[in-house]
Amino acid sequence: MRSPLRAAGALIDGAAGVGYTLTEDPALPPQMFTRLEVEALVLGLAEVRQTGDAALARAAETAQAKIIATLPERVQTQVAHSVLQTYRFDRRPPAPAHLALIREAAWDECALDFRYRDVAGAVTKRRILPLSVVFLDRQMMCLAWCTLREGFRRFLLDGMEAVDSTDESFRPRRVPLLRAFLKEISDGAGGRP
């Protein structure tokens, strides 16, 4: 039986037990990136590996491997010899353990409960609708709708303690709420803790 790739005109070299190679064929539309796009991908994924939590770092590595595997050999070489690199002398503190929980709650559109310690040291109990996590220079911030203050608020992730998921769903409101919050920020209002 002929494979779908061969049926589409792809040239496949190799043998069972040895391995197979998809040979670049100029007649086929390849997964193509310009050299600058390759540099942008490599640089962006390297930044995620340095600044994200362990799950994000692994996702960046596997995403890069998947992207590279689909590229023609000459473009794979460009990835291997990328000109741009990222390195931070002033490392951001490690991502807090609850970053993954906040990320999942935002995707699932579920409220979160936690204690929040503000920059002055005052502690309050909060329930939020998490909308987005923003990576700042030295820390991370959660953009959210706060049910206690009944408004948009920004919470530094390292000020959030005892973060716990709830069964309260706010589906399908995350995207409209996030748009409204971002508009508020661009208008200069922006939400306090």
Residue 12 located in a structural domain: yes
Average model confidence (pLDDT) across the chain:
83
Instruction: Clarify whether residues 104 and 168 are in a common domain.
Output: yes
Put simply, whether the predicted model's pTM sits higher than 0.85 gets the answer: no
Instruction: Clarify whether residues 39 and 108 are in a common domain.
Output: no
Highest mean pLDDT among 48-52, 75-79, 171-175, 184-188 belongs to: 171-175
Residue 192 located in a structural domain: no
In sequence order, the β-bridge partners of residue 115 are 125, 161
Residue 91 located in a structural domain: no
Tell me the per-residue pLDDT of 84-135, one tens digit each, with 9 for 90 and over: 676 667 777 778 889 999 999 999 999 999 999 998 999 999 999 999 999 8
Instruction: Clarify whether residues 118 and 177 are in a common domain.
Output: yes
Tell me how many domains the chain contains.
2
The DSSP letter of residue 54 is H
Residue the block writes with tokens 């993954």: 100
Can you give the residue range of the structural domain that contains 74? 4-80
Contact indicator for 111, 105 with CB cutoff of 8 Å: yes
The DSSP letter of residue 174 is H
